[in-house]
Amino acid sequence: MRYISLKGKYMSKSIYFVRHGESEWNVADRICGATDIPLTERGHQQAIDTGREILNLGIKADKILYSPLARAAETARHISEMTGIPMQAEPRLTEQNFGIWEGTSPRNAAEFRAAKRQFINHYGSGESMFRMAQRIYNLLDDLAEDDKTYILVAHNGIARVVKSYFEDMTNEEYADFGVANCSVNEWKYPAAGLACFDLDMTLLDHSVMEIPASSKKALEILRKKGYLIALCTGRNMDNPANHKYLDEIMPEAVVQNNGQKVTYKGRTIYEVRIDRETIARALELGKEHGFAIGVTLDDRGYFVHPEINREIEERTIGKTTREYCPAEWLLDEEKNLIVHSLVIHGRSAEETEAAAKLVEENMPDLKCMLFSSNTGADVTVAGNSKAHAVEQLIKEVGGVRKVVAFGDSDNDVELLEMADLGIAMGNASDTAKDAADMVTEHISDHGILKAVQSWL
């Protein structure tokens, strides 16, 4: 399994936050919100040191956005002069107006701490937590829309809102949260979204055995909008024959064998295998009832009734593409062949459908999913699916704002249903179309690109 690095070009981006340097009211232990109080000499030096620290940390930012209050503006000026990063005032970063509490002492008085837990309280003539959160959340939403990196220079009250935007917090944690003067804090935006694509007859057009240029264009559009690309296929992408598709698609994540294995940035994060006892029972059913069942590993097929596979290959692509080995090798402990899923083939769509039904009836621990053409069926561990695997992926990447899924077969149904937007190809099975939120054009009629252009 190979991971094609995109060098972070389309990864989720960071945002940096620096609280202003020490102010005169920090020293006096007075509550300082929207009141414009200057830095101390120590505060000026802290800001200069922070500029140096940002250089030493190798932080690359496009712009410093700062609160127009003097203590933040002066801190930003020092950082800008030290780093060469341009600065711009942003009024939405102004500290909360604490109304009747402004200028009172001490800053951590129990009454004031309790008041900060009253999120709709305006403190007399001040600003409520909800109002402040609204402007900060709107700002952070705006900054998420471009590919620039920002350093925000503002205040302690703003810091807790920024943290709450990126992380879950209890009311108590929110009210008590604070950062030190001139500390450098980093948060990461989640990816704009996760775009999940089946391979066969969704990305890969079997009529020409190519990924259409229009589909590649759609992938590029999604990446530029901050989407991670996940290839979600029934295939075993560890097989060398499939690596060419990884080179073309360059997915950040691969969900293979219908959710039995997930890799992210080349690292396996989730895996389910079919044990040898289960494989043995499945092979016996195939032998007894005359259908092909097995798996392809490293371009070698391990099937009972491999002659059926050969007939299908000769009929569809004009040649046999793999070497066939005894299916019993799958049961050999010394060979230690790892199986994540199996495949069923019958001589006709009707035979394939009957074989899949027979396997599920006799082996309830397995689940069968027909190809859109009914020429075969994928067999996986019951209870597992592409959708479940994508949920594991989302946990690994730290969340995404939207999940979009494209598919054409029954093995895509659960993923189409769980996605925020499920899109079935025009050539999809009726079951997949019924599960989707929208149906696009046929794969050969630029279906993926048309779908992306219609909603993005």
Calculate the average pLDDT of the chain. Answer: 92
- The tally of CA atoms less than 13 A away on the side-chain side of residue 334 is 0
Note the pLDDT of residue 12: 59
Q: How confident is the model at residue 143 (pLDDT cuts 50, 70, 90)?
A: very high
pLDDT tens column, 271-298: 999 999 999 999 999 999 999 999 999 8
When comparing pLDDT for 108 and 433, which is higher? 433
Please check the confidence at residue 339 and state whether its pLDDT lies above 50. Answer: yes
In the set 90, 95, 252, 351, the catalytic residue is: 95
pLDDT at 364 over 70: yes
Q: What CA–CA distance (Å, rounded) separates 419 from 406?
A: 9
Contacts of 36 (CB under 8 A, 6+ apart): 69, 70, 71
| pTM of the entire predicted model | 0.63
Residue 8 has pLDDT above 50, yes or no: no
pLDDT for position 190: 77
Over residues 205-229, the mean pLDDT reads 94
Question: How far is the CA of 456 from the CAs of 141, 435, 445, in angstroms?
Answer: 17, 21, 19
Please state which of the ranges 217-226, 318-327, 347-356, 380-389 shows the lowest mean pLDDT: 318-327
Angle between helices 349-362 and 276-289 (to 10 degrees): 130
Q: Is the pLDDT of residue 372 over 90?
A: no
Residue range 402-431: mean pLDDT, rounded: 95
* Secondary structure class of 325 (helix, strand, coil): strand
The H-or-E segment that residue 44 falls in is helix 41-56
* 50 sits in which H/E element: helix 41-56
Residue indicated by tokens 């700002």? 139
Q: Are strands 292-297 and 366-370 parallel, antiparallel or unpaired?
A: unpaired
* 20 is a catalytic site residue: yes
Q: Per-residue pLDDT averaged across 428-455, rounded? A: 96
Of 20, 78, 345, 446, the catalytic one is: 20
Task: Kindly report, residue by residue over 43-96, the tens digit of the pLDDT.
Answer: 999 999 999 999 999 999 999 999 999 999 999 999 999 999 999 999 999 999
Mean pLDDT of 419-446: 96
Q: Where are the beta strands (DSSP E) in 305-433?
A: 323-325, 342-345, 366-370, 377-381, 403-407, 421-424
Q: Is the pLDDT of residue 7 over 80?
A: no
Query: In this structure, what token pair is assigned to residue 292?
Result: 């092909």
- Count of residues making up the chain: 456
pLDDT at 399: 79
- What average pLDDT score do residues 150-159 get? 97
